[in-house]
Structure 1
Amino acid sequence: MSPDPQPAPTGLTDEELTALDAHWRAANYLSVGQIYLMANPLLTEPLRPEHIKPRLLGHWGTSPGLNLVHTHLNRVIARRALDALCVWGPGHGGPAVLANSWLEGSYTETYPDVTRDAAGMARLFRQFSFPGGVPSHVAPETPGSIHEGGELGYSLAHAYGAAFDHPELLVACVVGDGEAETGPLATSWHSTAFLDPVHDGAVLPILHLNGYKIANPTVLARMDRAELDAFFHGHGHEPLHVEGDDPRAVHRAMAAAMDTALDRIAAIQRAARREGAAERPRWPVIVLRTPKGWTGPAEVDGVPVAGTWRAHQVPLSGVRDNPEHLRQLEQWMRSYRPEELFDERGAPRPVVLGAVPAGNRRLGATPYANGGLLLRELPLPPLERYAVAVDKPGTTLHEPTRVLGDLLRDVMAATADRRDFRLVGPDETASNRLQAVYAASGKAWQERTLPVDEHLDRHGRVMEILSEHTCQGWLEGYLLTGRHGLFSCYEAFVHIVDSMVNQHLKWLRVSRRLPWRAPVASLNYLLTSHVWRQDHNGFSHQDPGFVDHVLNKSPEAVRVYLPPDANTLLAVADHALRSRDYVNVIVAGKQPCFDWLSLEEARVHCARGAGIWDWAGTEVAGREPDVVLACAGDVPTQEVLAASRLLRRHLPDLSVRVVNVVDIARLMPAAEHPHGMSDFDYDGLFTTDKPVVFAYHGYPWLIHRLAYRRTGHPHLHVRGYKEIGTTTTPFDMVVGNDMDRYRLVMDVIDRVPGLAVRAAAVRQHMEDVRLRHHAHIRAHGVDLPEVADWSFGD
C-alpha cells in the first residue's frame, strides 16, 4: 500500500478460486497434523497408534477460519502489493499460523531444520505442543507475530498500535468472538476515534464468529445481523458480512469482502491525504461467520462436534486407544486430498502457492513483526537543557514530572517528521504535569470538536483514552513494530494492566532467546500521582503495589526506579528511553519536592543505583556508623533526611549513614538480578550488624523479600505504606503509616544499643510532636509549620 493507495481490480477467477481452495486445504491439513501426528506426515501408510502423539494438545476449532483469513490475505497482498501485518486474536489457533508460515517458506527461513519437505513437515508436526518444541499459541517463536495468543483481549489494541505512524501499512486483525467479550477488546473498538488516515496505516478488523467459546456460546455470535450492524456503526465501522459452510461460496464471498474493504480503505486514505477530507471516516470491518471446527468430524461417539463447542480443542481425543477415533482421524486428514497439495517429496505443489506473496510481503516475513529491524535511535536532547540548579541540597523545590515534561516536549518535536514516538495515558497528561508536550503535539482525536476543547489534534501523537488496557495495548503494538513511547499513569490504577504487562514480559523473555528477533524499544512506565500525595483523592487512589507485581517477573527484563528528585528523574528517563527489551517502571512525584542532587551527581548516583549521601548523614571518618538510614522514593527520602537532621540536632554524637536507593533491584543478590549487588558490596553499604531503618515508597515487606538472604537482614527494619490512607494532609499520610521523620528517629532510638535509656527524653519529644500533629491538622486542616516550612538547610 502506497501513501496514496489506489483501488485494485476486483473479482475472483476460477483459477484463483482453485488456488485459494488448495492453499486453504493444505493449511487445514497441516493444522490437524500438528495437533495429532508425530510420524507418517504424508499418510504414505495407514495411520497406526504409534504415529499419534501421546498427549494431544492444541485448538482445532478456530483454525479453519484463521486459515481462510490467511489464505485470502495472501491474495490481496500479492495482488495489490501491500505492506501488511496480521494480528491473530484467537491466538490459541497457533497451528494455523504455523501452518501458513511453513507453506509460504518463512518458517524454514527462520528455522532451517524445519524444511519444506516430508522431513520438515514431520518436524513441524512433532514439535507442536511437545516437550522441547513450540507453544500451542501464537507466540514470539512464530514468524510474523507481534501478539502472544495465550491470553485473549489484546489483539485489536495491538493492531492499532502497529498502524499508528505507519501510513503505508495494512494491519489485519482477527478478533475471536470469545475474545470480543473481554474488557480490553471491548474498549479497543473506540480506536477508530484516534486513527489518523493521513499519517497512520489502516486496521482491518475481521470478527470471526464461529459460535462458541470453550464450553459456551458467544454473545456476538447470537446477535442477528441488524444488531451487529448497529454495534459496529456505533464504533465507526461499516460491516461486510461473509458467512456459510460451502467452501467455494465462502471463498468467493471472502474475496469480494476483502476487495471491497481494501477499496474503501484506499478511498478513505486518498480523500484524507490528497483531498484534505477532515470528517471521521467509517472504516470497514469484516464479519466472518463459519462453523467452529469447519471441515472437521461432524460427529464423534454419537454426538455432534463440528459447529459446536466440542470442536474447540481436540475433536478426537482417544485416537491412540480407540480404533474408531483413529479411523475417523485418517478419514478427516485424507478428506483434504494431500496428494493434490504436496508432491512426493512433501513440498507444497505450485497450485498451493499460487496466491502467496513474495519476499518480505509474506505475513511470516514482514519486518513490521520484527520491529527491532525498523527501530531507529531516539533523538534525545542533552539533559543539561532541563536540569535544575542545586547549589545546596534540600533548599529549592521543583515538580519532577513537570521538568520531565519539557524533555518529552522536545523529544516529541524532534520526532515530528519521522513520527516514531508517542506518549500514552488515561486522560492524565496534564494532571501528571506533562502538558508541555502539547507545544509539540496535541492529543490525537478524530471525533467532532467543540469550541471549548483544548489541544485536540487530528494528527497528534499524545494518546489519551480512559482505558489503561487500550493505552497499554496501543503502546505494545507501537513498540513491537519498531517505535518508541512512554506510558504515563496514576500509580494506583496501573494495576489494571497487571495481566497485560505479564504477557509482554513473557514475550520479551522469550524474544531475547531468539537470535532472529531484533531488540525493541523498552516499555516505559511513568507512575505518578502516587500513594503519598493523593491529598484530594484519598484511599481509593493509594496503592504502590505495581512494583511488587513486576519484580516477581523475569529479572532480565524488569527494571524499577524511584528517583528522589527532578534531576534523578531526568537521568533515569534518559536511560530508560534509550534502553531495549526491558519494562522500565519509574515512580516519580508530580508535586513540588526538594532538589537533592545536581545533574552530574544524579547521573553518577543513578548509574550506581544505590549509594551513600555523605553530606546528609553524620558519619564519623574512620569508624563504622551506629545506624543506617536508608530510603527509596521521593517522600521517603525527604522524611529520612529530615530524620537525619533531627538526629544531628538531638543526638550529635551518633554516627548516622544515609543511603539512597534509586534502582530497587540493587537490593537483590547479584545471582538473582543483573542489577543486584554482591554480598561484599551490600555489606559495605548497609553493614552486617548495625541497625538499618529503611523508609520505602511502597509496601515494606517487598524490601524484606528482596534482602532476606543478606547477612544483615535481622537488623533491617522497614517503614512504608501499610494500607492506611484517607483524604488528609501530605504529612498525615506518612504519620498514619509510621514513616514520618519523628517515627524514624524513634526507630533509631529503639534499635541502637544504649539509646533506649540515654535518649529516652528525645524519644518522648518525638512522640509528643506526633500527638501535636494530630491535634493541629484537625484544628487547622494543614500540617504543622515546622513540617510545612521545613528545608534541609534548617
Structure 2
Amino acid sequence: MRKDEDPDGVPLTDEELDALDAHWRAANYLSVGQIYLMDNPLLRKPLEPEHIKPRLLGHWGTSPGLNLVHTHLNRVIRRHGLDALCVWGPGHGGPAVLANAWLEGSYSETYPDVSRDEEGMARLFRQFSFPGGVPSHVAPETPGSIHEGGELGYSLSHAYGAALDNPDLLVACVIGDGEAETGPLAASWHSDKFLDPVHDGAVLPILHLNGYKIANPTVLARLPEAELDELLRGYGHDPLHVTGDDPRQVHRAMAAAMDTAVDRIRRIQRQARTGTDAGTGTGTSAGADTGSTGAGAGAGAGGPDGRPRWPVIVLRTPKGWTGPAEVDGLPVEGTWRSHQVPLSAVREDPAHREQLEAWLRSYRPDELFDERGGPRERVLACVPDGERRLGATRHANGGLLLRELPLPPLEHFAVAVDRPGGARHEPTGVLGGLLEAVMAATADRRDFRLVGPDETASNRLQAVYGASGKAWQEPLLDTDEHLDRHGRVMEILSEHTCQGWLEGYLLTGRHGLFSCYEAFVHIVDSMVNQHIKWLRTARTLPWRAPIASLNYLLTSHVWRQDHNGFSHQDPGFVDHVLNKSPEVVRVYLPPDANTLLTVADHALRSRDQVNVIVAGKQPCFDWLSLDDARAHCARGAGVWEWAGTEDGTREPDVVLACAGDVPTEEVLAAAALLRRHLPGLAVRVVNVVDMTRLMPHEEHPHGMTDGEYDALFTRDKPVIFAYHGYPWLVHRLAYRRAGHPNLHVRGYKEVGTTTTPFDMVVRNDLDRYRLVMDVIDRVPGLAVRAVGVRQAMADARVRHHDWIRAHGSDMPEVTDWTWAG
C-alpha cells in the first residue's frame, strides 16, 4: 500500500484488527447457527439431535466472504462518515446479511421479538428457512436490502440505479463469481459510462471470487490475475486485489483496499464537483498473499476523455472459509462441496454432529457474546451508528424518501376532440409533452428518469430532450445529438440493464418510466417476475413504505411492426404479467392519445405496482376528449354509446368489444359497416382500457362482479372481442362468466411478416371485414338474412389481397377511412 493512496497513512492497529476479527467471527457463528440450529444457540450444553433442524436448508459457501465484506464496510462507513448501501449479489447470502443485521441491532429494531439476546438469537436461528420464517435469500424481509437474491445477474445494475441522483451515497455491490457469468451482469459493467460524478453517487463493485458455483468452478476465478485485471480495466475500472486465506492478513489487506477505494472515489467526485485536481496514482494491489501491484495509471484520473476510472475490489477467499476442511474423507473448504450444507447428516450421525459442534466452537462464542447472549462491546466496535448501519439505511426503504411527483395538469397536453375520430395524433408523441414537463419540474430535485434501449426518439418521446438530454460519460462527437453529461434519459441497448437501473432507482425512493419495443420487453420477463414478488412481499411488511410503481410503456407494437416483420411481432408480455400477483399488476391498453395521458398520469402517481401500458406511436384517431377519457379510464371498461346502434328499448343483438388502439379502429370500422349494411341490428360497442377489469372481483381488486360484467357484455348475446394480443388471454380472464360460451375473441395468432399495416390485421383475422362476418355468423338467424353482406365482406378481403400485391400499400377504402358518426 503506497502512502499517497491512504489518506491518513495509518494501518490497522492490532486492537482494531482484533475487533474486526471478532465481528467477523460473530457473524460467521450466527450464519452457521441459522443453517443448523433450532435450539441451544450458544452451546450452553452439548449438542444433541433435538437441537438440530429436521431439514437443513441454506448456503454456507458464500457466507464467510459476505461477512468479511460487511465487517469492513462497517469499518469504512464509521471511519469516513459515509452514507452507504450494499447490494448483496450472491444468490444465497441470506444467513450472512441476517447475521450482520442482528449484530448491529437493526434486525431487532425491525422485529422486536427477535431480540439481541440469547432468546432472540434462538428465534433468529429457528426462523431461517423454516415454515413461517424467512427465506434463505436476502429478501424484502431483510432490513437494509433492495435486492432479491433468488435470481442472479442484476446486482450491479441495481446498485447503479440506487446511485443515480444520490450524490452523497456510496453503493457497495458484492458480485459473486457465479453471478459474474450471467449476461445481465456482464452488460451492467458498462453502467460506469453513464454515472455522472457530479450529480450521482458512487458504486463500489466488490467481485468476490471463491472459486465455485453449486457444482462447478467459476470462469473469472480461474482467470490469471493479470488477465482478469485487463478485463476489469477494459470495463473502465481500476482494480484493487485482496487475496488470501489467513484471516489477519486478509483483514489488513481488505481495510487498506477499502480505504484506498473510498479515497479514489472522493477524489473523482471532488474533481468533478469543484474542478480541482483529482490526483493520480497507480493501481495498487492489496494482496494479502503476494502484495503485488497491478500496472497502469489511473486511481480515478481517467482516460484521455476524462471519464473517471472507478475502483473495483477483487476479493479472493476460499469457498466455505473457516468451515469444515474435510467431511467423510472428502475435501470441503475451498471446494464446491461447501456451497450449501457441508455437514448434511448432523441429526443422524454423531460424528457429523461432533464436527458441527467443533466448527461452531472454533469461533469462540464465549468471547463474542455476553452472559445474556448479546454481542460484546468489542464485537460492535466497528459498527456505525443509527441510520449509517447498513440494515438501517433509509435508502433501502425508499418509500421513506419518496416525494410526490409534480405532475402538471393534463389539460396542458390533451388534444382537442370536437367529435370522435375527427383528427389523428401520435399517442406517445402527445405523452412525450407530459414527460418533458415532468423532467423539467424535477430538474432541481432530480428524482425522475426515463430509461429505454435506444428507443426514446423512435418511440416518439423525443420531446423530453427539451428538458434533459441522454446520460453519457464517453467521448462526444460533433455529430452527436442530445447527449448530456448530466442527463436523466438513460439509453443502453440492454433491456436487462435498463430494468435493473430503474428498479434500483425506484427501490431507493425515486420515480421513472421504462419505454420499450413491445416484442423485446420479454428479455426482462424473469426480472419483472422478481420485482413483482418483491412488491408482493413488501406489501405485507408494515415497516416497508410504499415505493413508486414500475411503469412500462410498450410501443412499436405488434400491429405496427409491419416494416420490421415477424421477429418484431409479439404482444405476449401482458400474458406473462397477468399471471402474477393480482394485487400488484395492472395492464392498460389506451385506445387514443387522451386515454394514454390519463392512464400515464394514474400510473405515475401509483405505488407498489407494476403497470404495463401498451400504446401505439403511429397516428391514430382521437376518440375521446380529456374529460371523457378520464371517465372511461375510471370505469376501466365501458359502452361507447355513440359508436353503437342501441336505442335503449331492448338488449343488443351483438356486442362488439375491443382493447387496444388498432383493434378499436377495426371494431369501429366494423360497427360502421354494420350500421350501413344491417341498420336494424342493435350493436353495442364496448371498449376495455384496463384488462384486469375482465377478471372476477374476487381475484383482482379491479375485477368486475358478475352483475357488472353481465350488464356490460350480457349473459346470452354473442360477444365479438377484438383484442390487441393473443386471443386466449381474454378467454382465460373471462372463463368463469356466464356469457363465456358466447365469447369469440380475435387477436394476434402468431401470423406475421413484412407487409402492410392492414394486411397484418387481415392475416390474423382481426380486420373489420372479418369482424362483420363473425357477427353474421354468430347472431341467431342473421346468416340467412345477411348472406349477401357476408359475401361482400369476404370479397373485400380478397380485393385487399390483390391490391397490396399490385400496389404495395393498403386499399384507399382502408387508408382513407374515417368515422362518420
TM-score class normalised by the smaller sequence:
over 0.9
3-state secondary structure, aligned to 1:653: coil
Q: Which residue of 2 aligns with 1:569?
A: 596
Q: Which residue of 1 aligns with 2:312?
A: 285
CA separation in 2, counterparts of 1:793 and 1:758?
Answer: 26
CA separation in 1, counterparts of 2:407 and 2:792?
Answer: 50
* 2:542 paired with 1:482: no
Amino acid at match of 2:51: H
CA separation in 2, counterparts of 1:511 and 1:99?
Answer: 21
Q: Which residue of 1 aligns with 2:204?
A: 204
CA offset digits 1:532-552 (Å, max 9, x no partner): 001210100000000000000
Q: Which residue of 2 aligns with 1:711?
A: 738
Q: Could you tell me whether the CA contact under 8 Å between 1:630 and 1:659 is conserved in 2?
A: yes
Alignment of 1:388-407 (within 5 A): 388-407=415-434
Alignment of 1:668-679 (within 5 A): 668-679=695-706
> What is the deviation of 1:9?
6.1
Q: 2:347 aligns with which of 320, 336, 341?
A: 320
> What is the deviation of 1:15?
1.2
CA separation in 1, counterparts of 2:356 and 2:710?
Answer: 64
> What is the deviation of 1:449?
1.2
3-state secondary structure, aligned to 2:344: coil
CA offset digits 1:62-110 (Å, max 9, x no partner): 0000000000000010111100000000131100000000000000000
CA offset digits 1:372-427 (Å, max 9, x no partner): 00000000000000000000101210000000001000100000000000000000
* 2:802 paired with 1:775: yes
Q: Which residue of 1 aligns with 2:331?
A: 304
Amino acid at match of 1:82: L
Amino acid at match of 2:419: K
CA separation in 1, counterparts of 2:27 and 2:355?
Answer: 19
In the alignment, structure 2 segments of 5+ residues that lack a partner are: 1-5, 278-304
Q: Which runs of 4+ in 1 moved over 6 A?
A: none
Alignment of 1:370-409 (within 5 A): 370-409=397-436
Amino acid at match of 2:662: V
CA offset digits 1:159-191 (Å, max 9, x no partner): 000000000000000000000001110100000
Q: TM-score, normalised by structure 1?
A: 0.99
Q: Which residue of 2 aligns with 1:628?
A: 655
> What is the deviation of 1:716?
0.2
Alignment of 1:621-700 (within 5 A): 621-700=648-727
Amino acid at match of 1:262: V
CA offset digits 1:227-277 (Å, max 9, x no partner): 011101111100000010000000000000000000000000000000078
Alignment of 1:403-552 (within 5 A): 403-552=430-579
Amino acid at match of 2:393: T
Q: Which residue of 1 aligns with 2:294?
A: none
Q: Could you tell me whether the CA contact under 8 Å between 1:698 and 1:720 is conserved in 2?
A: yes
> What is the deviation of 1:622?
1.4
Q: Which residue of 1 aligns with 2:760?
A: 733
Amino acid at match of 1:137: H
Q: 2:633 aligns with which of 601, 606, 610?
A: 606
Q: Which residue of 2 aligns with 1:112?
A: 112
Structure 1 vs Structure 2 CA RMSD: 0.9
Amino acid at match of 1:72: H
CA separation in 2, counterparts of 1:250 and 1:636?
Answer: 64
Q: Which residue of 1 aligns with 2:128?
A: 128
Amino acid at match of 2:259: D
Q: Which residue of 1 aligns with 2:161?
A: 161
Q: Could you tell me whether the CA contact under 8 Å between 1:8 and 1:263 is conserved in 2?
A: no
In the alignment, structure 1 segments of 5+ residues that lack a partner are: 1-5
CA separation in 2, counterparts of 1:674 and 1:539?
Answer: 36
CA separation in 2, counterparts of 1:48 and 1:401?
Answer: 66
User: How high is the sequence identity, in percent, across the aligned residues?
Assistant: 83
Q: Which residue of 2 aligns with 1:22?
A: 22
CA separation in 2, counterparts of 1:612 and 1:347?
Answer: 65
CA offset digits 1:41-70 (Å, max 9, x no partner): 000111011100000000000000000000
Q: Could you tell me whether the CA contact under 8 Å between 1:7 and 1:262 is conserved in 2?
A: no
CA separation in 2, counterparts of 1:538 and 1:403?
Answer: 26
Evaluate the alpha carbon distance shift between residue 593 and residue 79 of structure 1 in structure 2; reply closer, same or farther with a 3 A threshold.
Answer: same
CA separation in 2, counterparts of 1:276 and 1:509?
Answer: 47
Alignment of 1:740-751 (within 5 A): 740-751=767-778
Q: 1:786 aligns with which of 809, 813, 819?
A: 813
Q: Which residue of 2 aligns with 1:41?
A: 41
CA separation in 2, counterparts of 1:243 and 1:318?
Answer: 32
> What is the deviation of 1:12?
1.3
CA offset digits 1:497-550 (Å, max 9, x no partner): 000000000000000000000000000000000000012101000000000000
CA separation in 2, counterparts of 1:465 and 1:566?
Answer: 27
CA offset digits 1:195-245 (Å, max 9, x no partner): 000000000000000000000000000001110111011111000000100
> What is the deviation of 1:450?
1.1
CA offset digits 1:116-139 (Å, max 9, x no partner): 000000000000000000000000
Q: Which residue of 2 aligns with 1:187?
A: 187
Amino acid at match of 1:641: L
Alignment of 1:29-178 (within 5 A): 29-178=29-178
CA separation in 1, counterparts of 2:8 and 2:703?
Answer: 58
Amino acid at match of 2:230: A
CA separation in 2, counterparts of 1:65 and 1:8?
Answer: 26
CA separation in 1, counterparts of 2:460 and 2:234?
Answer: 34
Alignment of 1:256-295 (within 5 A): 256-275=256-275, 279-295=306-322
Q: Could you tell me whether the CA contact under 8 Å between 1:445 and 1:460 is conserved in 2?
A: yes
3-state secondary structure, aligned to 2:207: strand
CA separation in 2, counterparts of 1:727 and 1:513?
Answer: 47
Evaluate the alpha carbon distance shift between residue 276 and residue 667 of structure 1 in structure 2; reply closer, same or farther with a 3 A threshold.
Answer: farther
CA separation in 2, counterparts of 1:653 and 1:7?
Answer: 88
Q: Which residue of 2 aligns with 1:254?
A: 254
CA separation in 1, counterparts of 2:177 and 2:437?
Answer: 43
CA separation in 2, counterparts of 1:525 and 1:621?
Answer: 39
CA separation in 2, counterparts of 1:418 and 1:349?
Answer: 43
Q: Which residue of 2 aligns with 1:3?
A: none
CA separation in 2, counterparts of 1:793 and 1:187?
Answer: 52
Q: TM-score, normalised by structure 2?
A: 0.96
> What is the deviation of 1:14?
1.3
Amino acid at match of 1:508: L
CA separation in 2, counterparts of 1:12 and 1:595?
Answer: 70
> What is the deviation of 1:620?
1.9
3-state secondary structure, aligned to 1:622: coil
Q: Which residue of 2 aligns with 1:760?
A: 787
* 2:649 paired with 1:619: no
Q: Which residue of 2 aligns with 1:579?
A: 606
3-state secondary structure, aligned to 1:559: strand
Q: Could you tell me whether the CA contact under 8 Å between 1:10 and 1:259 is conserved in 2?
A: no
3-state secondary structure, aligned to 1:19: helix
CA offset digits 1:608-633 (Å, max 9, x no partner): 00000000000122100000000000
CA separation in 2, counterparts of 1:519 and 1:338?
Answer: 39
CA separation in 1, counterparts of 2:82 and 2:655?
Answer: 63
CA offset digits 1:274-314 (Å, max 9, x no partner): 00787200000000000000000000000000000000000
Amino acid at match of 1:195: L
Count of aligned pairs: 789
3-state secondary structure, aligned to 2:641: coil
Q: 1:720 aligns with which of 731, 734, 747?
A: 747
3-state secondary structure, aligned to 2:87: strand
